[in-house]
């Protein structure tokens, strides 16, 4: 799906490169060279990639408002992940539960639209405006939407709205769930591009958050089982600091 380019110089500083998984979270899996090791099903090979590599990025898939809201969710989650990583006795409770659930839903929704993006929608009976590119960018920067001259609404606005809806629906669905912190006693966790229906979020090579479980130390065999879930549910890739240290 082609993205709509900004005017030269991007004067309104609209976000073009949008990470499906936050760059800061990918960075938690980086090696001493600042790269992760990734295995791609599509390409059939191993790659060593920076967290800002194109593999992790969509281009203007959702609108600027959804980007800002998503960044707030990302930042809250990264802060929690760093706290969990530094405190071996940390338990997810209170506001932490919402932070985890909003992030999981954000990640899953972004990936769903990366794989199956929406098309521009047509508003029947409504005449749009023949706006120039600067006017369109100003409107988007102010977190509003516009209807184009042909009566269509760019798909990124619809996907931005739907991401917010998906987050609200997911948080409601799992309102009675609990989340636990799993720490590896042997081997590293893989991070898939999507866990599909598995409610898991790796936050470091040796720490993973999972729904409906208590805090626990997990064996190498259990890490291997989770990694097989990651491989099976992934759409294209899994990555970690060093895949040879990830049991399967």
For range 234-247, the mean pLDDT: 98
Residue 11, domain member (yes or no): no
pLDDT at 143: 96
Residue 111, domain member (yes or no): yes
* Dist CA 235 CA 40 (whole Å): 9
* Dist CA 52 CA 17 (whole Å): 9
Residue 221, domain member (yes or no): yes
3-state DSSP of 95-118: HHHHHHHHHHHHHHHHHHHHHCCC
Residue 67, domain member (yes or no): yes
Q: Is 10 a residue whose pLDDT tops 80?
A: yes
How many Cα atoms are found within 13 Å in the side-chain-facing hemisphere of 5?
3
Exposed (0-12), middle (13-18) or buried (19+): which is 125, by Cβ within 10 Å?
exposed
Q: Is 1 a residue whose pLDDT tops 70?
A: no
Residue 5, domain member (yes or no): no
Q: 14-26 pLDDT, tens per residue?
A: 999 999 999 999 9
Number of separate domains in the chain: 1
The dihedrals phi and psi of 180, each to the nearest 5 degrees, come to -120, 160
Residue 198, domain member (yes or no): yes
Beta-sheet strands, E only, within the chain: 17-19, 36-40, 45-49, 57-59, 121-122, 152-153, 179-184, 191-192, 200-204, 207-211, 216-218, 237-240
- Domain that residue 22 falls in: 17-245
Q: 180-232 pLDDT, tens per residue?
A: 999 999 999 999 999 998 999 999 999 999 999 999 999 999 999 999 999 99
For range 154-173, the mean pLDDT: 97
Give this prediction's pTM: 0.95
Residue 2, domain member (yes or no): no
Residue 135, domain member (yes or no): yes
């Amino acid at each position: 799906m082609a993205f709509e380019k900004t005017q030269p110089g991007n004067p309104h500083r609209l976000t073009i490169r949008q990470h499906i998984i936050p760059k800061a979270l990918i960075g938690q899996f980086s090696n001493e060279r600042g790269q992760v090791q990734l295995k791609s099903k599509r390409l059939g090979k191993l790659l060593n990639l920076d967290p800002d590599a194109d593999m992790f990025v969509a281009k203007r898939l959702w609108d600027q408002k959804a980007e800002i809201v998503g960044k707030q969710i990302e930042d809250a989650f990264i802060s929690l992940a760093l706290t969990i990583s530094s405190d071996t006795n940390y338990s997810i409770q209170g506001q932490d539960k919402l932070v985890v659930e909003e992030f999981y839903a954000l990640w899953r929704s972004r990936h769903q639209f990366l794989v199956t993006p929406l098309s521009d929608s047509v508003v029947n009976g409504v005449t749009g405006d023949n706006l120039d590119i600067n006017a369109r960018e100003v409107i988007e920067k102010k977190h509003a939407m516009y209807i184009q001259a042909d009566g269509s609404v760019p798909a990124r606005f619809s996907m931005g709205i739907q991401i917010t809806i998906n987050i609200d629906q997911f948080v409601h669905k799992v309102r009675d769930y609990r989340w636990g912190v799993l720490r590896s006693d042997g081997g590293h966790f893989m991070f898939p591009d999507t866990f599909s229906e598995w409610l898991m979020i790796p936050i470091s090579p040796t720490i993973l958050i999972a729904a409906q479980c208590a805090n626990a130390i997990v064996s190498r065999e259990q890490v291997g089982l989770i990694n097989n879930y990651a491989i099976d549910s992934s759409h294209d890739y899994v990555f970690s600091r060093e895949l040879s240290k990830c049991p399967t």
